[in-house]
Structure 1
Amino acid sequence: MEVAIPINNELDQRISDAFCIFDHHGDKRIDIREVGTVLRFLGCVPTEQEINEVIAATEMEESAGDVHLSKFMPYVAQLLSERKMEPASPEKILAAFQVLDPEQKTYITKEYMSKMMMEEGEPFTQEELDEMLAVAIDPITGNIPYEFYINQLMHEPANSIYDLADKFVTMKPKDTKRSTRRTGEETSPI
């Protein structure tokens, strides 16, 4: 018999919905290899280390290799409320491109960008690089006009997962005291 997992707010619902897309058996479990995919689907930008931390914190003890929604949802909600794995701001991305463009040409060559993405920091896979270049490269010049590319990246949904997390953190429990007003000698609930 399956135990119901309480969905307490819109943030929990969004996490649950994303998780369940990758729950191929409908049993509220995903393979640990799907954790990064779920996080990215939510709009997070995790490093491999952060993905491994989520796996370590949520992997089922009785079924190694699986993550259950009941552990994943509250853990990820907490990370989101702390604004972990949040995408970089447009200003940070622009500053990073400007470091790669000391001559201020306002573009990066495909070759240089490929080298940087494959060899520096947390390297992209070839598939990730191909996906990025497909969007980033100007088909006429063959270069990456990075301000245009940043504008393409910055389309932010109206209700991002981080906006929901902020709302979730700032929600206060409703005051359980009943308001009263004086009417003559009696008090009555409002």
Structure 2
Amino acid sequence: FLDWQDRRTCVLFGDGAGAALVVPSDGKAGVLGVSLHGDATKLHLLRIEAGGVRLPASEATVREGLHFLKMEGEGVFRAAVPMMERATREALAQAGLAPKDIDWLIPHQANLRIIRPLAARLGVPEERVVVNIDRVANTSTASIPIALDELVRAGKLKEGQIVALTAFGAGAAYGTVILRW
């Protein structure tokens, strides 16, 4: 989905995979709050125009490059921070928590220009924000599972801690899950 001729997008992405196993908990660990949204007014900011059910792939769509990712970077930046902040505050409220209760913020690793202002707006200190984009780039949907795995492997995530996983992506979908580890 990357157009190697479009330097605004092709250099941003890394490659990776991640998964998390969710199982029933008999203790206090688990999902405490969830907030999921989509904003159709921002669909144009990050999109792939063809290849789906709305405009199936064809010789013409491939020839015209409509299957490549299109992004309006400044618009994504302006939208992503308030989207993720909103979802995080909603999920925290659902859990009966406040931003000060977050032990670890694990945001989608899209861009440091998004991660830093988000953390600042939530009042989460830099040392409690997991960042790996500087090492693995934007691994898209794998970015949060990879960052979570790195935090666990480093021995930093402790039982009972509150973790906020927050993301946004194509189609202007965004959301947050609050976990007690």
After TM superposition, the score normalised by the length of structure 2 is 0.28
Considering only CA atoms, is the larger Rg found in Structure 1 or Structure 2? Answer: 1
After TM superposition, the score normalised by the length of structure 1 is 0.27
Structure holding more helix per residue: 1
Identify which of structures 1 and 2 has the higher relative contact order when contacts are C-alpha pairs closer than 8 Å and 6+ apart: 2
Structure holding more strand per residue: 2
